[in-house]
Amino acid sequence: MTRSFRRKRLSLIDWSLSAVRPPGESESGDMALVKPIENGVLVAAVDGAGHGREAADAARIAVTTLKEHAGEGIAALLRRCHLKLRGTRGAVMSLVSFDGERNEMKWLGVGNVSGLLVRRRDHPGSSKEGILLKGGVLGYVLPPLLPQIIPVLPGDTIALATDGIHPDFMKDMDADTPPHTLSARLCARYATGRDDGIMLVARYLGWNT
């Protein structure tokens, strides 16, 4: 079952979330958060380990922790989630923090939540760049944490996808298709059918858009 969610456009980003859940699963362990913070927006995709209620419980703890402390840096947020998730199934996640004043983003993942940045056509940098993923499971194994800092321009677009979405989605990512169309298309086309999955697409707009 595939579902698409159109979210209200924020002043700094335009974003959309789509989700898929295999037959027989009553609760998803894959969750997302998009929350305005001082000078920017925090974007997160979380995958609770395993399936069912225990995976969903772990994901909810992680999302609640991120929501309550969203203004902290990415490394601090990952450490907080690691402590909160002890005694649970644990979770993996990728975080992106957009800074509208500096026109930059910071991002980092622990585990296997894929992330891809696609530049607008006239961006002077490389056209695509993947998130740095560190091995580990929050609640069990916390790796060294050093987020990447990357300049962004209005039109640059990121996608975060849990492992229910095949990584081949990256070859169809672009910075032209509206986020709500892109997230739904990629989720429907690349869902593995074996696991919960979410596809979150966010396009950087800048403060002056």
Q: Where are the domains of the chain?
A: 2-204
CB contact set of 88 (below 8 Å; sequence gap of 6+): 48, 54, 57, 58, 61, 139
- Written as one string, the DSSP assignment of 34-46 is EEEETTEEEEEEE
- Provide CATH code, domain 2-204: 3.60.40.10
State whether residue 121 is helix, strand or coil.
Answer: coil
Summarize pLDDT for 82-114 with one digit per residue, the tens.
999 999 999 999 999 999 999 999 999 999 999
Q: 7-11, 66-70, 152-156, 169-173: which has the minimum mean pLDDT?
A: 7-11
Amino acid residing at 132: L
Beta-bridge partner residues of 37? 40
Instruction: Locate 67 and state its tokens.
Output: 């929501």
Q: What pLDDT is attached to residue 125?
A: 61
Q: What is the pLDDT of residues 117-168, one digit of tens each?
A: 999 877 666 689 999 999 999 999 999 999 999 999 999 999 999 999 999 9
Residues 184 and 172: beta-carbon distance below 8 Å: no
Distance CA 96, CA 116 (A): 11
**Residues 3-18: tens digit of each pLDDT:** 544 454 558 999 999 9
